[in-house]
Amino acid sequence: MVDAANLLTPAQEQALSQKLIAQKQASGRSLVVATIPDLQGYDISDYGYRLGRAWGIGDKNSNGALLIVAPAERKLRIEVGYGLEGILTDALSSQIIRNDIRPRFKDGDMAAGIAAGVDAITTLLALPPEQAKAQAAKAEEDARRSRDNGGGIVGFWIILFIVFFVVLPMLSRARGGRRY
């Protein structure tokens, strides 16, 4: 737990640190939280990857994850080591950010958002591998379904655009066009 952006009180930082240590001891999977004042011009995914590599998060199997928060740029990301990619997928990470962290950040409670993210991730990491992978597969399916449904809405607007700006003007010209 590194709170370089000073988003947490010492008591909050201590409580999260204890939770992260207990998670590591119970499952062998590491979760590190880092709040940073700014990204120093880097993209958050690149910064998170470099930070994870530099700190050696996880073990030789890359069994670790990093929750990185950069409040100055209003960015956050969950960076996942190779050993956890089947468990903490991009879809699950996005779901945790969207449902657990971001709403609290929008309410101005950064500490609660970080704590909610840690709770969601540690709960997932504590699951047996088969159960965690099943949950990850469900999140992937939900994300795919959501993307597919989004295409229907976009398609509707495209068709509506074509009807109003292509078909209707053609029909009005066919009936004699504009009259003065």
Task: Give the model confidence (pLDDT) of 102-135 as tens digits.
Answer: 999 999 999 999 999 999 999 988 888 788 888 8
Grouped pLDDT means (10 residues each) for the chain, 180 residues: 95 96 89 94 91 78 89 94 86 93 96 97 87 82 70 71 73 59
Fold classification of 2-132 (topology level):
Diaminopimelate Epimerase; Chain A, domain 1 (3.10.310)
Q: What residues have CB less than 8 Å from 139, skipping those under 6 apart?
A: 89, 91, 92, 95
> In terms of DSSP H, where are the helices of the chain?
10-27, 44-55, 90-96, 102-106, 110-126, 129-162, 168-174
**Are the beta carbons of 42 and 75 closer than 8 angstroms?**
no
- Would you state the pLDDT for residue 109? 96
Q: Enumerate the domain spans of the chain.
A: 2-132
Kindly compute the dihedral angle of the four CA atoms of residues 12, 18, 20, 22, in this order, to the nearest 10 degrees.
-150
pTM: 0.76
- Would you state the pLDDT for residue 119? 96
